[in-house]
Chains A and B, each alone.
Chain A
Amino acid sequence: MLITCPYCGPRDVIEFTYQGDGNRERPQPASQNLDAWNAYVYDRLNPAGDHNEIWQHSGGCRAHLRVVRNTLTHEVLSTAFARGGHKTESRS
């Protein structure tokens, strides 16, 4: 599996660290909304098909990337910098 890093170009998957589901919404740090925190920590979309996920090019430029990848074929459909990280709006 090759992932195209926007800085470094196409690189082997072993250079990257998987950081999981990129659809999750992280509550504001001061949020006391337990349902939102529970959803952020434990709930996953887990689709069979296109999956929006976060990877880090830990063996390269160390940039965090937002990758759309198909979980049935392992085809990488798009990569971009994950600037902004996880979405920061609270769910409620």
Chain B
Amino acid sequence: MTRRELLFALAAPGPRLQLVDVTRAAGLNFQHHTGAFGSRYLPETLGPGCAFLDYDNDGWLDVLLVNGQDWPGHPQRRATLQLFKNNRNGTFTDVTKAAGLDISLYGLGVAVADFNNDGFPDLYVTAVGQNRLLRNTGRGTFVDVTTAAGLGNRTGFSTSAAWFDYDRDGHLDLFVCNYVRWSPEQDVFCSLDGKAKSYCTPEAYRGATCWLFRNRGNGTFEDVTAKSGLFDASTKSLGVAMLDYDQDGWPDLFVANDTQPNKLYRNNRDGTFREMAVRAGVAFAEDGRARAGMGVDAGDFRRTGREGLAVTNFDNEMIGLYEATGTGFVDRAAETGIAAASRTTLGFGCLFFDADLDGHLDLLAVNGHIDDSVRNLARGPAYAQPPHLFWNDGKGRFRDISGEVGGGFREPKVGRGLALGDFDRDGDLDVLLTTNGGPAYLYRNDVGNGHRSIRFQLEGRTSNRDAIGAVVQVEDADGWQMRRVRSGSSYLSSSMLAVTFGVGLQTAVKRVVVRWPNGRVDEFKQLATGRTYRCVEGQAPVALDHR
């Protein structure tokens, strides 16, 4: 770098934020249990997921961490889901038992939403074996309603899941990704070095169809996988994101598949879907190969009003950063600088968010290899890998600033799950991530440049109560921004549902448009920033302080 370039770099406005590791201080004591005992079973490499949710509706985000368990016949220790209640002072208390969540299962992911519209978030936990639907009683506890809801007697190898109202009937439906057909008895011997067993890539196993369950609105679900046209036994799905890529107001789905073409399911508005990924340009990599898609998120990172996609892949495959063109997508990873920066990392959870509240969506991706034996390979990739925090400069380039945000954030980890939420209610989004076979990490985001945010917490009336699928558009001095209230996205994880916009130093926004899932549009003018607004469908917004 020449002196001139250095001066320019110093003078250039860059992000000013710190991600402070508060895991220990917050009391998030968690250790992921893979159950590994040497046989190297495929599911061991995948978990776990995590979630930010306000299970007790006190306005402070709590944390749920998913855990695995022992393999049959190989007892080591008891591991359960873990729920940490926010003490509103930066610390958490483990309330797993009291909440009735000391459930042991080979859990992988979690999708959080109020499926019964009672105002309390419920849980759908994916697992190897039987997934669980856990209904929030509203009294700080959960009950297992899997069988009663018609979701029992169904085993699989489920990964990410998403709640969304595909038929816009006001009741949240459930989409569940399944990975492959695997059981300990079907386990295949794979080896990296030709000697010791290593974890297999999914090519060794047959695919498994994803599931779509329609919410009947009476606490039960109907399997509409076949009826909706989503049935496909060849897919090996790990991540799902909802978006409206044809902008018709009906939610579409993008499914990231591992070593199989990704799928883009376009909602036909009649209860069925049509697969469009090849035509839209998101099925394969530029060279025509199917990549190992892991996590995915959708977001308007170009401020064009259209949602693009980010998909994490295997090492040497690079993150796919798809910009929406209106008719399809174009992979912009190379031009934006993301391709080169993510060449050697194997990504899992990924989410768009405005890390420094400057009005542009940045991209966070957590990384880590699937097999610790890669350490034995000469010139092989690392097992633990640093996460990427790609800062969007608003001019079409992304720069990895993970090393500039302090707090040991860049320390290599075997990252998997990733969720975002404002647990300290200071207006920015904090980071919760999990590691395979290791602890979970909570990073408090401290935006240090005086940037402000404006947040909307939506409540549907005829739309689903969580307003999942709703779009909020904000017009500020720099134009329009949009966010969707979404479940799913990332990998195995669930983030805070309220949508957060960064507005830089602006103290007010000109206009806010809320497009509810049922098609209704509410519009508000001149809202002050630095606030959270509670918007009930069809009503004026109520301002709350961030704290």
Q: Do A and B bind each other?
A: no
